[in-house]
Structure 1
């Protein structure tokens, strides 16, 4: 997904991708509907749109799961959330405040901006919300973890 900008999906569809990633394989419409507090027909429409865009697989009578493209996007979404949360935490917000604030605007921050912020922060490996993965990060330099000796 080298051409991914990070701005492909609406905030609501991002929530669906994150939820499917968290839950794993074969998540049923009713589970998503209950979690998101949205009518099942709304979920079906949005998930079908995600499926036609290649992010989600639909197995009739079994549920939904992420495709490889969906998994890659979910990894980026987690990374984006964690980089932004760590940045806000650095500037004085608590971990909880950082997480909540980022959830309000993260869908509008591009992959390019995240890579630039990540680079300026020295490619942190752990944030206030958990581990930060860098395999999908377009690093300007070869980044190696410091060896403890």
Structure 2
């Protein structure tokens, strides 16, 4: 696995990866456009960039799916979201508020910070949004 810093992708590209990962199958570009509420040409451009960066495979008229690199990064994104949501819940926000607030800033939090927070919280296994995996917690 390529070393992840957690800061490789823009918030918009992160949304694409999360949605493709959530669907667990080939996703057509028109579905992505509709879900993300963007113009189809923007979706095509972003998908081509993600393909060039090695996160997705795109076969025209068949859809987009994650590569191994994309799956690893998506797993990190889910872990980051769940750890940050749990942290905010522990500070008094409701689970719904915590999840919503994390969506505003999570793309700016590095893997190192997540590993440190995770370690400080005792490597929790369950977050407000689901199970927390610890495949590469370095701290």
What's the counterpart of residue 143 of structure 1? none
Question: Mean Cα displacement is larger for which, 76-85 or 1-10?
Answer: 1-10
- Name stretches of at least 5 consecutive residues in structure 1 with no aligned partner: 141-149
Match of 1:90 in 2: 90
Query: Contact 1:33–1:40 (CA<8 Å) still a contact in 2?
Result: yes
Matched, 1:61 2:61: yes
Is 1:130 aligned to residue 130 of structure 2?
A: yes
The structural deviation recorded for 1:61 is 1.6
**TM-score (norm. length: structure 1):** 0.91
Q: Count residues with an aligned counterpart.
A: 139
Query: SS state of the match for residue 65, structure 2?
Result: strand
1:135 and 1:112 map into 2 onto residues whose CA distance is: 14
Does the aligned pair in 2 maintain the 1:79–1:133 contact within 8 Å?
yes
- Answer with 1 or 2: which has the greater Rg: 1
Using the alignment, how far apart are the partners of 1:120 and 1:73 within structure 2? 23
Structure 1 position 96, deviation (Å): 0.2
The answer on 1:106 being equivalent to 2:106 is yes
Shift of 1:40: 0.5
Shift of 1:137: 2.2
Aligned partner of 2:28 in structure 1 is 28
5+ long unaligned stretches in structure 2: none
